[in-house]
Amino acid sequence: MSRRSQKLVEYGKPLVLVTEQVPTAPRGGAVVQVACAGVCHSDIHATEGILQQQNLPLILGHEISGTVANMDPTVKTDVKVGDRVVVYSMGGCSACSRCAEGRPIDCLNRVVNTNGAFIDGGFSDYVVCPDAKLLLKVPDSVAMDTACLLPCSGLTAYNAVATIMPTVNDFARHTDCTVLLVGMGGLGLWAVQIAKQLLPSNVRLVCADVDVDKLASAKDAGCDVTVHWGKEGQ
Ligand SMILES: [Zn+2]
Ligand SMILES: [Zn+2]
């Protein structure tokens, strides 16, 4: 079985389309047939050579959804071959106690097995996930092009909202309050939708950006008030 991949071969040059054999699932890991792979700004930085931390050639793409094609049958997980999944791309050593707890980002052995940054990623027909426990099932109600964004931009925005939540909940118990979200790009739009779901209903969401089109998207996503900021010097 072969796969087509877009590889970063040289910084500052376009990605190169290559066809090669699909690797088999490593011990403890899985192979996922990619449905969607988001293009993150860090992928752009990588191609431009701003990060320069990769061993080239490398398949970029860390925002991945797909279907489990095969996996190490000895892994104890509720995910099985054929399931729709997202790949949480920040893998660790898969052996230490923190990786076992599902905290690979705090890996005691400081191993960074990140798909699309340090190991091959999702700009391919198939991606190898080093640890099948990093696969999360996608409900049928969630489209794959939305699901692929959840482990990166969606999770980042969720973290921001979850961090302010205790303080905002405390304020909202005593008085109406307002939350200002700055920047209505991809992350900002996630933040609006997540804040609408998680924060109390008497919290007013104000969204600011320098781009009126982005503010229109923020309004569609559910923000209450938009503020058009001028660019520096204007
Ligand atoms: Zn990303
Ligand atoms: Zn570890």
Ligand 1 centre and the CA of 42: distance in Å?
Answer: 6
Nearest ligand, CA 94: 2
**CATH 3.30.1360.120, applies to 2-146:** no
Ligand 2 centre and the CA of 109: distance in Å?
Answer: 5
Nearest ligand, CA 117: 1
Nearest ligand, CA 104: 2
Ligand 1 centre and the CA of 40: distance in Å?
Answer: 4
For the chain, residues classed under CATH 3.90.180.10 are: 2-146
Ligand 1 centre and the CA of 186: distance in Å?
Answer: 10
Ligand 1 centre and the CA of 160: distance in Å?
Answer: 15
Strands of the chain, DSSP E:
2-8, 16-21, 30-38, 58-59, 63-71, 84-87, 90-91, 113-114, 126-129, 135-137, 177-182, 203-209, 225-228
Ligand 2 centre and the CA of 93: distance in Å?
Answer: 4
Nearest ligand, CA 133: 2
In order along its 234 residues, the chain shows pLDDT tens digits of 899 999 999 999 999 999 999 999 999 999 999 999 999 988 999 888 887 667 899 999 999 999 999 999 999 899 999 999 999 999 999 889 998 888 898 999 999 999 999 999 999 999 999 999 999 999 999 999 999 999 999 999 999 999 999 999 999 999 999 999 999 999 999 999 999 999 999 999 999 999 999 999 999 999 999 999 987 665
Ligand 2 centre and the CA of 103: distance in Å?
Answer: 8
Ligand 1 centre and the CA of 203: distance in Å?
Answer: 29
Ligand 2 centre and the CA of 64: distance in Å?
Answer: 22
Contact 148, 174 (CB under 8 A): no
Look at residue 234 in the predicted model and tell me its pLDDT.
Answer: 54
Indicate the Cα dihedral angle 137, 143, 149, 155, nearest 10°: -60
Ligand 2 centre and the CA of 178: distance in Å?
Answer: 40
Look at residue 68 in the predicted model and tell me its pLDDT.
Answer: 98
> What H or E segment, with its residue span, contains residue 81?
none
Ligand 2 centre and the CA of 7: distance in Å?
Answer: 27
At the fourth CATH level, the homologous superfamily of domain 152-228 is: NAD(P)-binding Rossmann-like Domain (3.40.50.720)
Q: Is 8 helix (H, G, I), strand (E, B) or coil?
A: strand
Query: Of 50, 47, 32, 126, which Cα lies nearest the Cα of 88?
Result: 32
Cα 83 → chain centroid: 19
CA distance linking residue 147 with residue 86, whole number of Å: 7
Q: Is 105 helix (H, G, I), strand (E, B) or coil?
A: helix
CA distance linking residue 139 with residue 141, whole number of Å: 5
Cα 187 → chain centroid: 10
For the chain, residues classed under CATH 3.40.50.720 are: 152-228
* Angle of CA points 70, 47, 107, to nearest 5°: 50
- 203-209 and 225-228 beta bridge pairing: parallel
